[in-house]
Amino acid sequence: MPRPISVTIHTSAMKNNLAVVRSRSAGRKVWAVVKANAYGHGIDNAVQAFEDADGLATIEVRDAMFMRHLGWKKRILLLEGFFDDDDLEALERYDIETNVHSQRMIDMIRAKAPYKNLRVHIKVNSGMNRLGFAPDEVPAVREALEAIPGCRVMGVVTHFANSERDYDREGNRPVTVARQLERMAGQETTEGACLANSGAICFHPEVMGDEIRAGIILYGSSPDSSVTNEELGIKPAMTFAARIIAVQNIAPGEAVGYGSRWIASRPSRIAVVACGYADGYPRSMPDGSPTYVEGVMAPLVGSVSMDMLEIDVTDIPAAQVGSLVELWGEHVLVNTLAARCNTIGYELMCALAPRVPVRVD
């Protein structure tokens, strides 16, 4: 018998979410961002569900090769660039496009020339101060790259630090979308520009460009938790669930789990669920965090163990050994849970452990 825990990936939701992105993107080319194992959803599932995307964007060359192996024929982009001059051969062989963000990368490209058709995008640092050239360096970078035989500049790329909705309502965020856009002025008009991530796609129609990069929204998680999935028309593509494997009836004053963090204030029925932090459910989750069982919410009680967690089902008589508990998915939004332990839904989805069996529906 397999351990009763699984993650179910809903490819129909991923397709729906891609259609939502398309309808919001006014004919622009859509890169589906599939880094980190497609935000935990599986590269293979993403290749299938995002067949209507114009391209897939990821981080590792290895992932890009795997996508080709799975039969992906359209564009592939490396968001963080390549790391070593050996990678350049794979880029050519597998027809992989890359961002170029440093002089070191330009030097590596030049040293391995000529190319049949090496397609590159110039990464611009417009205020995030992570990767990229300063806006005023772009003309020289473009010239240097275009002088390399077989190297073709596809356009410019930048990334926003604060693309959520209320980015400057309090007036105290130094790096707004508007400020970054100002620094890009002139750049995006020269040729292809790829600017918007999910937040900008949803909340910043003023961000234009020819291409967009959609990540979190494709997986059915709102880029800003104050805006609902219903408002955006998206559906969660991941259901993380496990079954109850034991029930304890405890007296008031009894504690639950390591560190005796939660203490019963009444006679309580405590259900033990076959999911722990070694499965990717954060150990930092506080008491009272929601799970969904037999049609209602049941609160987490006590510290999450490596292989189990416990929930209070005193008021849910239908919850028994064998009942399925949704940890996150349609009823318990991953963003809601993430906020409770001071992180974002992205991190929870990416941190799903390899030991959790994956199902696809």
Cα 347 to Cα 334: distance, rounded to the nearest angstrom: 10
Place of tokens 């037999």: 294
Binding mask 203-232 for ligand PLP (x = CB under 6 A): ----------xxxx------x---------
Q: Of residues 198, 289, 291, 314, which one binds ligand PLP by CB under 6 A?
A: 198
CB of 361 to ligand PLP, least distance (A): 23
The DSSP result for 159-214, as a single string, is --S--STTTTTTS--SS-HHHHHHHHTTHHHHS-EEEE-HHHHHH-TT---SEEEE
162 versus 291: smaller Cβ distance to ligand PLP: 162
CB of 31 to ligand PLP, least distance (A): 8
- For 70, the token pair is 């799975």
The Cα-based distances of 337 to 13, 254, 340 in angstroms read: 20, 26, 5
Place of tokens 């400057």: 168
Residue 101 in contact with ligand PLP, rule: CB under 6 A: no
Consecutive H or E run containing 157: strand 151-157
98 versus 268: smaller Cβ distance to ligand PLP: 98
Give the count of alpha carbons within 13 A of 79, CB side only: 22
Residue 56 in contact with ligand PLP, rule: CB under 6 A: no
CB of 1 to ligand PLP, least distance (A): 37
With contacts defined by CB under 6 A, name the span among 191-199, 245-253, 265-273, 301-309 that binds ligand PLP.
191-199
145 versus 200: smaller Cβ distance to ligand PLP: 200
CB of 340 to ligand PLP, least distance (A): 21
Give φ, ψ of 38 to 5 degrees. 55, 55
With contacts defined by CB under 6 A, name the span among 21-29, 193-201, 304-312, 351-359 that binds ligand PLP.
193-201
The DSSP result for 336-355, as a single string, is HHHHHTTS-HHHHHHT--TT
**74 noted as active-site residue:** no
326: nearest Cα among 293, 302, 294, 298? 293
Rg for the chain (alpha carbons), in Å? 23
With contacts defined by CB under 6 A, name the span among 2-10, 170-178, 196-204, 248-256 that binds ligand PLP.
196-204
**115 noted as active-site residue:** no
Residue 112 in contact with ligand PLP, rule: CB under 6 A: no
Helix extents (H) in 51-102: 61-69, 87-93
Catalytic residue among 29, 112, 123, 258: 258
By annotation, the residues acting in catalysis are: 35, 258
- Which residues are at the interface with ligand PLP (CB under 6 A)? 33, 35, 79, 159, 197-199, 213-216, 223
